[in-house]
Chain A
Amino acid sequence: AQSVTQLGSHVSVSEGALVLLRCNYSSSVPPYLFWYVQYPNQGLQLLLKYTSAATLVKGINGFEAEFKKSETSFHLTKPSAHMSDAAEYFCAVPGRVGAGGTSYGKLTFGQGTILTVHP
Chain B
Amino acid sequence: NAGVTQTPKFQVLKTGQSMTLQCAQDMNHNSMYWYRQDPGMGLRLIYYSASEGTTDKGEVPNGYNVSRLNKREFSLRLESAAPSQTSVYFCASSGWSNQPQHFGDGTRLSIL
Q: Which residues of A contact B (CB under 8 A)?
A: 9, 31-32, 34, 41-46, 49, 51, 90, 94-95, 97, 102-112
Contact = CB atoms under 8 A, between A and B. Distances in A.
Given A97-B56, A105-B94, A105-B96, A90 B43 contact: yes
A80 to B, nearest CB: 26
A5 to B, nearest CB: 11
A63 B65 CA distance: 38
12 contacts: A41-B106, A43-B106, A44-B92, A44-B103, A46-B102, A90-B43, A104-B48, A105-B95, A105-B99, A106-B33, A106-B48, A112-B40
A82 B57 CA distance: 40
A111 B43 CA distance: 7
B35 to A, nearest CB: 8
Contacts, number: 65
Given A43-B4, A111-B41, A112-B42, A105 B97 contact: yes
A107 B101 CA distance: 9
Interface residues of B, number: 28
B90 interface: yes
Interface of B: 4, 31, 33, 40-45, 48, 50, 56, 58, 90, 92, 94-106
Contact of B42 (A49, A51, A109): A109
A84 B111 CA distance: 33
A111 B42 contact: yes
Contacts of B94: 105
